[in-house]
Amino acid sequence: MRTLLSVALAMACGSVLLAAQTAEELVARNTQAKGGMEKIKAIHSLRMRGTVQERSFRAQVGQDAAAPDLLRQTFTVQGMTAIQSYDGKTGWQISPFQGRRDPELLGEDDLRELVEEADFYGPLIDYQAKGNSIAYLGRDTLEGDDVYRLKVTLKNGDIIYYYLDPDTFLEIRTEKQQFIRGAVRETVSDLGSYKQVNGVYFPFSIESGPKDDPSSRAKVTVEKMEANIAIPGTEFEMPSPPANPSAQRHPEPPAQGAKTPTQAPAQKPPAGSKPPARY
């Protein structure tokens, strides 16, 4: 009996080790497929410009990022620009489409997502040092094609599932589960059109949105991406509000008889629209 029990325990331990080794191997292959650790770590800043399309709505989006965890995202429609930014400690935003033109601190939900997106090299690179854990979930199918499936549990408890192409080992889909105040928020991102920037492959097409509502997903098309450009750290920091913000929001009325220029009302983004997710 002891011999059989010992064999069973050894087989169970061996299965766990095999799964761990497979997960490690897939992470290593994914890293190599993107260009290798040396080239990835040689990039310390990225600037992206592109467009986002959600049904008939279209807007300009931008993203500046710098290692290890600086991020600034912009969303521009008809000359009005919304901003979300994280400087490594503080997350803030400017929301002109909601009538708030002064910088304000982000709420808990938006801050959690922005902090995760600000991880410059992503949750797989140096995952152990970041407090993340990975597990190989085996082969799966995605829209009829074979994929490898990885589960990444972040330090804060949120989970990201990676679907890796078995030929290229690049991720073609990620699914995120965020646990906020007892509720679960699930989102999906489909990634494609990979191109090299400074020897590293990045997706130039990202379609993302709620997992349970494909019709509400928005597609970001990257038009230009630059690496290792000089981005001052002050760009990510929350600016001080104006000394008299009420005066800026409510300017003095024009003198009697003076003509005022006409202006078309600003087009508001659809509900839930935001700058692109961290790629």
> 161-182 as b/e, with b when 16 or more CB fall inside 10 Å?
bbbbbeeebbbbbbbbbbeeee
- Strand, coil or helix: what is 148? strand
pLDDT at 4 over 50: no
Mean pLDDT calculated for residue range 93-97: 94
Query: Could you tell me where the DSSP H helices lie in 35-126?
Result: 37-42, 108-117
Kind plus residue range of the DSSP H or E element containing 258: none
- The band of 244, judged by pLDDT with boundaries at 50, 70 and 90, is low
- Tally the domains of the chain: 1
Radius of gyration of the chain (CA): 22
Mean pLDDT calculated for residue range 255-263: 42
First-residue to last-residue Cα distance in the chain: 53
Name the residue with tokens 């331990």. 13
- Considering the entire predicted model, what is its pTM? 0.80
Q: Is residue 135 part of a domain?
A: yes
User: CA–CA separation, 249 vs 102, rounded Å?
Assistant: 9
Q: How many helices (H) and strands (E) does the chain have?
A: 4, 13
Q: Is residue 278 part of a domain?
A: no
Contacts of 15 (CB under 8 A, 6+ apart): none
Q: Is residue 211 part of a domain?
A: yes
pLDDT at 173 over 60: yes
User: CB 4: neighbour CB atoms within 10 A?
Assistant: 8
pLDDT of residue 257: 46
Q: Is residue 29 part of a domain?
A: yes
User: CA–CA separation, 2 vs 19, rounded Å?
Assistant: 26
Q: Is residue 264 part of a domain?
A: no
**More reliable by pLDDT, 230 or 13:** 230
Structural domain including 165 reads 9-239
Q: Is residue 250 part of a domain?
A: no
Q: Is residue 251 part of a domain?
A: no
CATH number of the domain to which 108 belongs: 2.50.20.10
The residues with which 200 forms a beta bridge, in sequence order, are: 197
User: CA–CA separation, 244 vs 226, rounded Å?
Assistant: 38
| Angle 54-57-49 from CA coordinates, rounded to 5° | 75
Q: Is residue 248 part of a domain?
A: no
Q: Report percent pLDDT > 90 for the chain.
A: 70
